[in-house]
Amino acid sequence: MIALWVSNAYLLKKGKYRFAPLLTALPATFMTAVSVTYILMAKEGLQLSRNVAYLIGAAAALILFTVYLAGCPKVRKTSNSRL
């Protein structure tokens, strides 16, 4: 999950391709939901109920994807100004 988010930020900042949200951000969002949900409901984690863990996992993924989309124009603008 972290590697996907980092690679997404790197590729976006370097301007390597235009469709960063489709290629790396969507799998990173999915893996965020899976990872957070697992940590919340696993025996070795917080042991929350399944419904609560799913809800919080989906919310965490949605929040991170929203923050990512809000930051995309800023990163693209600063990377283009250096060219």
Question: Where are the alpha helices (H) located in 1-83, listed in sequence order?
Answer: 2-14, 20, 26-41, 50-81
Higher pLDDT, 28 or 74: 28
Distance CA 72, CA 48 (A): 34
Residue 16 has pLDDT above 80, yes or no: no
Please provide the average confidence, as pLDDT, over all residues in the chain: 84
What pLDDT score was predicted for residue 83? 46
What pLDDT score was predicted for residue 21? 63
Distance CA 3, CA 68 (A): 15
pLDDT in tens, 47-81: 999 999 999 999 999 999 998 888 776 665 665 55
